[in-house]
Structure 1
């Protein structure tokens, strides 16, 4: 009896070589079967492929080589495709009423939006002259036209645009002055 026949490292190396040989031999078949089953399963072919290879490796190094490799690959791909279809049927997006990632109905977003609108309206109220009335009219929820705003304020429609521009500039300067400058930290000094 040879000493290397009982060496676990040598045996593991031989099993690893067998697994590599099986992977090399079955790669085209796994890719083809996964590509055929993926559209019906509603998943990517690469995901099915990866799941099949994982299944093969989970079999263990000693029994990694299936008795009928082609049959095993077809069965494994179909089983993984069934699992993917089942997962797709059962999973629901977090936001059922909007697309994934749409946080418009999120309570935090609603609260922040309401807070921002209150801050804007308060800042508009502190503007000088006719600016509060002009900007309040423009911020009206029913989205009035320039003609409606001019009629409501008793001014010409042509002067409304330049007046709005001056008021927005004043609001912008006022809000910029209210923003607190960040503290200097270490290297900026």
Structure 2
């Protein structure tokens, strides 16, 4: 996890509202995706997101390392989702058959959302050279032009392959620090980052 992530968490502990809003924006997608995986509806997922971050605010001092925050959030989100799911089950709530959310997001789609969120944060933790190279190779087009990539990121054409391998290894190390980790093959799928916690592409 980058020094920027540690600094962001430290600023949140001091009551920095801007830092707190940034932290929520960075991690809300992960929390929302975990809630959807449990089969909750959109409004219930929003409740989970709110509850999880309220809980985090109360326990910021318990997060000793910034690298452990995603895992803590995922675990807390699962527990809160189970609590809400039990409450809904007791109340007998159900969606109408023609409601657009009556069919939950597939497990594969949620996995892609979670992975995309983690990859986005991992890219942010990389240096600009690796971040720009991997973004150009995997996230912007299905068929990157290596000549153009070389000119754009300032890396000799013949060095793109070795540099790509080193950058992927660094990214894999960053993601491995989070709960569950990610394989290099997962990273190379090129899932794009998500901009909002309500979904991705």
So what's the TM-score if we normalise by structure 2? 0.34
Q: Which structure would you say has the larger RCO, counting Cα contacts within 8 Å and 6 or more residues apart?
A: 2
